[in-house]
Structure 1
Amino acid sequence: MMKLSTMYDFLESESPIVLDVLQKWGFDDGSVGLVRASSNFIFIFKKDGTEYILRLTPHGDLPKIKNELNFLLYLRKNNVHVNYPIISREGNTIEIVPSALGTFYAVVFNFVEGKQYELEELSDEQLYKWGKALGNLHHNSKQYNSYNNDKKIYTLQDLLPSVEESIPSQDVSSQQEFKEIKSWIENLNVTCQNYGRIHFDFELDNLIWDENNIKMIDFESSIDGWYAADIAFALRDVFAQEVDFTNPIFLQFLNGYKSKTNITDDEVENISMFLRLYNLLTYTKLLDSLDLESNTKYPEWVVGLINKLQSKIEDYQGSFRK
């Protein structure tokens, strides 16, 4: 998630940055609307009656965005159903946009039509296909490892120093949790079969269903890491209360996954630790984003978001103490 100060400054600003950016692709008047603001700003718009998605990333990492788009183009070339970047009028997939609020990196994607589901709405067949879709993604990632010249530039291990730096020195329980996870990761085996480019957020919010066919979106977090971590992050809501590998939801998902690629029993066992890593990563992201204090200076939506994030931070701190 981006810093709250950045979100506030952008959303409360009267700057026409969005319309200026969209001039680089073209758009229909009156068609632009905000979808969400989280780690970036997402807008929907139309050009010649066709819908598209604009993603504006504040203070982004240009090489990382390029890696993301290269991976998407590779997947599309190999018939994986993903969203893909649209070339601007100047022939670019990424437009760099300086502004009074800082530098933004703009990418336009095709709009993916279909339906989204909540976990409790999924049938057994859909759970199987969810797992199968991730298995197919990892199957293609294993081929991408040998094809891609940029592999292992952005890795899961590279996130650890910033996580350590973000944990307050007085937060003893979180510091201890970090030490245990870091030690465990440093001793994990890395092979071409268990490690490669992962989505890193393959939850249901990032899947669009066209009947029972799954289309994948939102690869902004994609990184090189263990495939079991991708499974753990995808199923974090399934395991929110406890990690139970006999859970019928998990078993259906895993059967679908195994229909497209292999995973060992040892890798499955690692899911528990990757879930702990997910909690720690999310905790430190929340800490980094919360750079505003709740007071009457801000509008109600900002105060409400501050309180919500503070509550989540306290929940994570409590879980680490347990």
Structure 2
Amino acid sequence: MMRLGEIAAMRATVDEAWRSEIADRVGGRWALDPGSLRWWRSSASHVFVLPDGVDERGVLYVRFAPASDPAGARLAQGAALQERLRERSAAVAGPVVSRAGRVVERVPTAAGEMVAAAVLRVEGEEYDVDDLDEARAFAWGTALAGFHRAAGPAGAAGAAQSPRHDADLEALGADPDPRVAAAARTVRTASRALATGPTVVGHGDFELDNLRWRSERVVCFDLDESGPMPAVADVAAATRDVFDDWASNPGAPGLLRSFLSGYEDASGVAVDHRALIVHRAAVAAGSAAAVARAVGEPGPPPEDLAELADRLREHEARERQVLVTAAALLG
């Protein structure tokens, strides 16, 4: 997630009609008229939407982030993978090429150079956890396996697999909260003993809010967190919400087990539960660290972002608790 200061600076350029001169500058690379884009949200990137009926290409989402911020590099990496996957007819949102024929543009603006990409709106149903049954959870797991298959191999795994957020776990090992510090150390120790598993080109955030459903076909978008990773790490990132329900009753069947069954059925890979717990804890550590970086600037957050800062801090507290719970499950 970008820092609140960056989000506040962008918000300051947005007028009462949700237009921004920065977005206009970026949109020009896609031949969009000034004033046609409307601010949608800012989090991992700034997102502006081209409403229905404005352009013959349909509803477009233009996403951009500062080239000087890691968010810009992640956006470019995800857009490049998205283009490759579309060329393979994978179930991902359609990237829109710029006037210059590029999927990713670097655009100088009054707010600095931006890395930008555009995608078509994905039609379909949006589900949350309350909308799932075991059949849909199975299809969700099958869809992630399909993504891994389409993305292709990422190389052989080593004898052990450290979580993607190992550095965040290491930092939390010195946290002022002794429960969090002890949990982080427990998880890092457990990660060193994990059995070898396959490495994939993962989505990194195959959660329900990044998916649209067309009957049983699942189409994904927002590939900013994509890249080589253990398959179990991608499963852990995707299922974080249903994992949290399962963690309170690990012996129960239900959505997580159905997801894992769907993934195994389609990929041939059985996800080890202990490895899943380790990687879910790593996701929690990464989420908590990302929030701390986003809201950790000196002084209070900008007044119009105080509510967002509060919600993020609540999320950070929940993820820190997930880390503690996961450590307890690891024994």
Residue among 18, 21, 29 paired with 1:24: 29
Q: 2: distance between equivalents of 1:132 and 1:118?
A: 17
Q: 1:270-309 alignment to 2 at 5 Å?
A: 270-292=275-297, 298-299=302-303, 301-309=304-312
Q: 2: distance between equivalents of 1:233 and 1:100?
A: 36
- Matched positions, count: 310
Q: 1: distance between equivalents of 2:91 and 2:321?
A: 39
| Unmatched segments (≥5 aa) in structure 1 | none
Judged with a 3 Å threshold, the aligned counterparts in structure 2 of structure 1 residues 7 and 61 are, in CA distance, closer, same or farther, namely closer
CA drift at 1:199: 0.9
| Structure 2 counterpart of 1:188 | 194
Q: Which moved more, 1:206-215 or 1:174-183?
A: 174-183
Q: 1:130-145 alignment to 2 at 5 Å?
A: 130-141=140-151, 143-145=152-154
Query: Residue 39 in 1 paired to residue 44 in 2?
Result: yes
Q: 2: distance between equivalents of 1:38 and 1:167?
A: 27
Kept in 2: contact 1:245–1:251 (CA 8 A)? no
| Structure 2 counterpart of 1:252 | 258
Query: Residue 217 in 1 paired to residue 225 in 2?
Result: no
Q: 2: distance between equivalents of 1:251 and 1:316?
A: 22
Judged with a 3 Å threshold, the aligned counterparts in structure 2 of structure 1 residues 190 and 93 are, in CA distance, closer, same or farther, namely farther
Q: 2: distance between equivalents of 1:139 and 1:4?
A: 37
User: Structure 1: which 4+ aligned runs deviate by more than 6 Å?
Assistant: none
TM-score norm. by structure 1 comes to 0.83
Q: 1:3-22 alignment to 2 at 5 Å?
A: 3-13=3-13, 16-22=21-27
SS at match of 2:244: coil
| Unmatched segments (≥5 aa) in structure 2 | 15-19, 326-331
Kept in 1: contact 2:163–2:278 (CA 8 A)? no
CA drift at 1:276: 1.1
Q: 1: distance between equivalents of 2:324 and 2:318?
A: 10
Judged with a 3 Å threshold, the aligned counterparts in structure 2 of structure 1 residues 67 and 320 are, in CA distance, closer, same or farther, namely closer
Deviations 1:125-178 (A, max 9, x none): 32221111011112334x3436xxxx99xx975643366458875344434333
Kept in 2: contact 1:83–1:112 (CA 8 A)? yes
Residue among 106, 109, 113 paired with 2:119: 109
Judged with a 3 Å threshold, the aligned counterparts in structure 2 of structure 1 residues 49 and 110 are, in CA distance, closer, same or farther, namely closer
TM-score norm. by structure 2 comes to 0.81
SS at match of 1:240: helix
SS at match of 2:154: helix
Kept in 2: contact 1:8–1:302 (CA 8 A)? yes
CA drift at 1:38: 1.0
Amino acid at match of 1:311: E
- The CA RMSD measured in Å over matched residues stands at 3.0
Judged with a 3 Å threshold, the aligned counterparts in structure 2 of structure 1 residues 258 and 242 are, in CA distance, closer, same or farther, namely closer
Q: 1: distance between equivalents of 2:251 and 2:306?
A: 40
Residue identity over aligned pairs, in percent, reads: 21
| Structure 1 counterpart of 2:131 | 121
Deviations 1:287-310 (A, max 9, x none): 000035775x843x4111122223
CA drift at 1:62: 6.0
Q: Which moved more, 1:308-317 or 1:275-284?
A: 308-317
Q: 2: distance between equivalents of 1:122 and 1:318?
A: 25
CA drift at 1:34: 2.1
